[in-house]
Amino acid sequence: MTGIPRSSARCAAPRRRLRRGVLLPAALMLVTSCSTGSDSGKAGADGAGDPLFPRLGNGGYDVQHYGLTLDYEPEGNRLHATAVITARATQDLDAFNLDLKGMKVRDARVDGKPAGTARKGTELTVTPGTALDKGREFQTVVVYEGVPKEITDADGESLEGWVETDSGAAALGEPTGSMAWFPGNHHPSDKAAYDIEVTVPKGYTAVANGELKRKEVRGDRATFSWHNPEPMASYLASVVVNEFEVTTTKAGDLPVYIATHPEEPAAGPRMAKLLPRAIDWASGLFGPYPFSSAGAVVDHNEYVDYALETQTKPYFDEAPTDAIVVHEVAHQWFGNSVTPRTWRDMWLSESFAQYAEWMWEEKEGGRPVQRIFDDFYSGKDPESSGIWAFPPGDPTPETIFDPPVYGRGAMLLHELRRGVGDGVFFAIVRKWVADHRHGNGDTAEFVALCEERAGRSLKPLFDKWLWGEGRP
Ligand code: TRP
Ligand code: ZN
């Protein structure tokens, strides 16, 4: 979505609530690790070490592929599902954790053999019959069902997880919501390929990431099989169910799939024109589009007030402005292909998406980027409200979506561009995208690349714009 959520109320008076245990004391976390049933110390960790969300993700394995088979009943909002998780052990493992919030686990198997399960909060501990050796590839099958949960973000108000809508549902995963609908390693550092198959009542369309390989109607149920071959962080995985209208087109050779809610009738044709244009423009600036398909979901969702850059098909809670479309398209390079290594590196995702909006505005005959920068600096641009609240390099769980991460981050990129010149700046951007394609990148790596290409220290610039308190 664009720099600030459309409901300006959210930004004007950010509420501060308790953090729902995201910052548990280390001692408590240890208790959970010990409760995995390991007495030989070979249990995988119950977190991936994120500085903002320490319990998110898990240690001891690396997922290659998720095969998710979902059966969804909009009436009653019930999900029956099977997750097949192919992973490699990165240490000897006699037990490992998956993240899963709510849902009832019916069965778990590792390499076809029954495995033990235990649950504590959002940690699902799986104990295979036989311990796994380091380096071993193994397959975990979890059968689960229930009414998937809606999750309130650390900001105390934004909704994610499995959001039931008026005539369907939308699975939105940033930053922690994907654990509401499938068990997995829900940290952005463990990316994997996905195949998502969703069965819904006939008349509904179920949209997920990647390309539609098959649609099959049997009796009164329809099954949609989606194939997403490129690595994806789990927060970008998505399933959206509704009585959508579907428009398909091409952007160059790329298949484009657009699902629009009947209450947003103009969105289909509009997106079919805008998406190829935005993708083509962004490819010229950032390098080739990173995925094998593209598209969008334009929903009509009154419970959510943001767009999300869900991989290959960004999600829009309603018909978006061009700027928001460009923002989500830019995320396919920044955030999706090059994913922040931890949630503290969030600015590497949002500042580029916001800066893309500024460049698009200039290209379309609006304000030049320098004018937008000046309007942010002076406070004239309404989107600049709140951008000095904290340094963009140091958000908290409550503030990862706040204006400094977006607006002040984009200002940093502009200052970098002014400092090194257009040639070096765009060379840096393309190298960043190429070097970390389908992987992760962090702040230290980005700074190092900038300094290498600039041929000098850029410490004053980053100290001022990324780490400094208040308006520089
Ligand atoms: N990352 C999304 C984007 O910029 C925005 C987003 C996701 C968001 N979840 C949010 C914004 C919660 C505000 C609150 O496209
Ligand atoms: Zn964004």
Q: Is residue 182 part of a domain?
A: no
- The CB of 230 under 6 Å from ligand 1? The reply is no
Residue 8 CA to ligand 2 center (angstroms) comes to: 16
Judged by DSSP in three states, 338 sits in strand
The pLDDT tens digits of the residues spanning 171-204 come to: 999 999 999 999 999 999 999 999 999 999 999 9
Measured from the Cβ of residue 9, the count of other Cβ atoms closer than 10 Å reads 11
**Smallest CA separation from ligand 1 atom 3, residue:** 1
Residue type, 140: T
**pLDDT of res. 7:** 36
Q: Nearest bound ligand to CA 235?
A: 1
Cis, peptide link before residue 229, omega less than 30° from 0: no
Nearest CA to ligand 1 atom 1: 308
> Closest residue (by CA) to atom 15 of ligand 1?
1
H or E segment at 201? Answer: strand 192-201
Asked if residue 130 has pLDDT above 50, the reply is yes
Q: Is ligand 1 within 6 A of the CB of residue 406?
A: no
* CA angle centred on 351, ends 424 and 360, rounded to 5°: 75
Q: Is the pLDDT of residue 307 over 50?
A: yes
Residue 441 lies in a domain: yes
Is residue 224 over pLDDT 60?
A: yes
The pTM assigned to this predicted structure is 0.92
352 lines ligand 1 (CB under 6 A): no
Percentage of the chain lying above the pLDDT 70 cut = 91
CB 153 less than 6 A from any atom of ligand 1: yes
SS (H, E, C) 283-316: HHHHCCCCCCCEEEEECCCCCCCCCECCCCCCEE
Residue 71 lies in a domain: no
The CA 332 to ligand 2 mean position distance, Å, reads: 10
Do 256 and 210 form a contact (C-beta atoms < 8 A)?
no
Q: Three-state SS for 112?
A: coil
Domain-located, residue 444:
yes
**309 CB less than 6 Å from ligand 1?**
yes
- By percentage, how much of the chain surpasses pLDDT 90? 91
Between 180 and 7, the more confident residue is: 180
Task: Supply the range of the domain harboring residue 424.
Answer: 342-467
Structurally, the chain folds into a number of domains equal to 1
CB burial of residue 77 (10 Å; 0-12, 13-18, 19+): middle
Strands (E), 209-263: 211-218, 221-232, 239-242, 245-251, 254-260
Two structure tokens written together for 149: 């949960």
Calculate how far, in angstroms, residue 346's C-alpha sits from the geometric centre of ligand 2.
Answer: 9
CA of 25 to the centre of ligand 2 (A): 31
CATH assignment of the domain containing 372: 1.10.390.10
Q: In what order do the strands lie in the sheet with 104-110?
A: 113-114, 104-110, 137-146, 78-89, 61-73, 192-201, 221-232, 211-218
Rounded-to-integer distance, Cα 75 and Cα 66, Å: 27
Find the radius of gyration of the CA atoms of the chain. Answer: 22
Please indicate, yes or no, if residue 416 is contained in any of the structural domains: yes
Q: Determine the atom of ligand 1 nearest the C-alpha atom of 331.
A: 15
pLDDT of residue 41: 64
Structure tokens at 126: 């799986």
Positive or negative: CA dihedral 436, 433, 240, 396: positive
Question: What is the number of the ligand 1 atom nearest to the C-alpha of 2?
Answer: 4
Q: Whose CA is nearest to atom 9 of ligand 1?
A: 174
Give the number of whichever ligand sits closest to the CA of residue 4. 1
pLDDT over threshold 60, residue 26: no
Structural domain contains residue 458? yes
Per-residue confidence (pLDDT) for residue 322, from 0 to 100: 98
Q: Are 92 and 42 in contact (CB under 8 A)?
A: yes
Sorted by sequence, the CB contacts under 8 Å of residue 377 that are 6+ apart come out as 384, 411, 471
Residue 253's pLDDT is 96
Q: Could you tell me if the CB of 174 is within 6 A of ligand 1? A: yes
30, pLDDT greater than 50: no
The three-class DSSP label of residue 53 is coil
The token pair that represents 23 in the structure block: 């910052």
Lowest-pLDDT range, 10-19, 28-37, 85-94, 427-436? 10-19
Per-residue pLDDT tens digits for 316-375: 999 999 999 999 999 999 999 999 999 999 999 999 999 999 999 999 999 999 999 999
Ligand 1: distance of its center to the CA of 6 in Å?
Answer: 10
- Ligand 1 pocket member 172 (CB < 6 A): no
Q: How many CA atoms lie within 13 A of 377 on its CB side?
A: 12
Tell me if 150 CB under 6 Å of ligand 1.
no
* Helical residues (DSSP H) of 287-408, grouped into ranges: 322-331, 347-363, 369-378, 403
Give the residue whose CA is nearest to atom 12 of ligand 1.
Answer: 158
DSSP code for 169: E
